[in-house]
Amino acid sequence: MTPKRISARTRNEWVTAYGFLLPNLIGLFVFVFVPIVYALYVSLHDWNALNPKAFSGLDNYRKLLHDDQWWSSIRITLTFSVIYVPLLFVLSLLSALLMNALRGRTKGVARTLFLLPFAVTSVTSAVIGMFMLDPRNGVINRLLGLIGIGPQPFLGSTSQAMLSIIGVILWINIGYNMIIFLSAIKEIPRDYYEAAGMDGATGWKSFRFITLPLLRETSTFILIVTTIGSFQALDQILVMTKGGPANAMEVSVLYIFKQGFELLNMGYAASLAFVLFLIIFGLSLVQLKLFSNRN
C-alpha cells in the first residue's frame, strides 16, 4: 500500500488553518480544558480553599446524591430552562421575521435598536430590571395600574420571581438571537418563495414548509447555545434576588457558587460543578442528535 502523498499546497493550507486556530486552541486548553480536569481533581478532595486539600475519594459525589437542596436547585434550573429557551427561541424568530418584512431605511435603524440591549452588561441589566420591577416605584406596576391591575410583588414573590427574571434576560438576549435568525433568513433564496407563491402557498404555509425547514441548522445552534446558557444563568439572578425569595430562584450554578464561596466547601462545589457539566454535555448531545437528522 502506497502512502497517500500530501501536496505542498495542502500542507500550506493546513499550516495556515492551524495557525489561525492555534490562539483559540491554546485559550480553550488553558481556560476550559485545564479547569475542567482541575475541577475533577478538586472534587475528589475535601478542601476549604485555605488549608491543604485532603483526598476524600468519591465522598463528595455520594453526598450530592442525598443533598435535597442540590436536587431542588436542579429542578428550579430545569423549570427555568423549559420556560426560557422556547420563549427566547420563538420571540427571536418572530422578531427576525418582523425585521425581514421591513423595507427601506427603517430596517437598519430598527435592527440596531433591537440589538442595543445586548450591549448592556448583565449586571447593569439586572439593576435596571430591579428598578423597573420595584413593587412600589417601578414602571411596570405603574403601567399595570393604568389598566386597573393592582401592584405586584414580582421579585418579592416565590411565584413571580422566575418569570420576572426571565423577562429581564429575554430583553437582553432577544436582539442577538434575532440577528442570527435574520442572517439565516436572508440566506434563503427568494426563488423558493416565488415558486411556492405560484403554487398558491403564501403566509403561514411558506413559513412552515420553506423558512422553518431551512432554518434547521440555525435553530439547532440557537437551541443548544441558549439551553447551555440557561443552565449557566447566574449574574442576573445573583444581583436581583440572590436566589430568593425563599430559595425560589436558587439555580444550580448559584448553589454551586454558595457552596464554594460562601460555605467554602470547594471540593463539594467542584463535584457539583462537574455533575452539572456532565448534565449540560449530555443535553447538548441529545439536542444535536435530535436536530441533526436532515430527513
- Is 105 one of the binding residues for other proteins (CB under 8 A)? no
- Is 29 one of the binding residues for other proteins (CB under 8 A)? no
Distance (Å, whole) CA 171 – CA 261: 29
> According to CB under 8 A, which one of 26, 32, 82, 113 is a site residue for other proteins?
113
Stretch 33-72: interaction string toward other proteins, x if CB under 8 A? ---------------xxxx---------------------
Query: Are the CB atoms for 77 and 237 separated by under 8 Å?
Result: no
Stretch that binds other proteins, among 3-11, 35-43, 183-191, 237-245 (CB under 8 A): 237-245
Q: Are strands 54-55 and 45-46 parallel, antiparallel or unpaired?
A: antiparallel
- Is 247 one of the binding residues for other proteins (CB under 8 A)? yes
Distance (Å, whole) CA 94 – CA 185: 12
* Residues making up the chain, counted from first to last: 295
Q: Please, what is the minimum distance in Å from the beta carbon of residue 56 to other proteins?
A: 10
Beta-bridged to residue 54, according to DSSP, are 46
> According to CB under 8 A, which one of 84, 211, 243, 280 is a site residue for other proteins?
243
Select from 32, 31, 5, 15 the least CA-distant residue to 281. 32
Residue that the C-alpha cell 436582539 belongs to: 175
- Is 8 one of the binding residues for other proteins (CB under 8 A)? no
**What value does the CA radius of gyration of the chain take, rounded to a whole number of Å?**
24
Which residues of this chain interact with other proteins, rule CB under 8 A? 48-51, 95, 98-99, 101-103, 106, 109-110, 113-114, 116-117, 119-120, 124, 127-128, 131-132, 134-137, 151, 153-158, 171, 175, 242-248, 258, 261-264
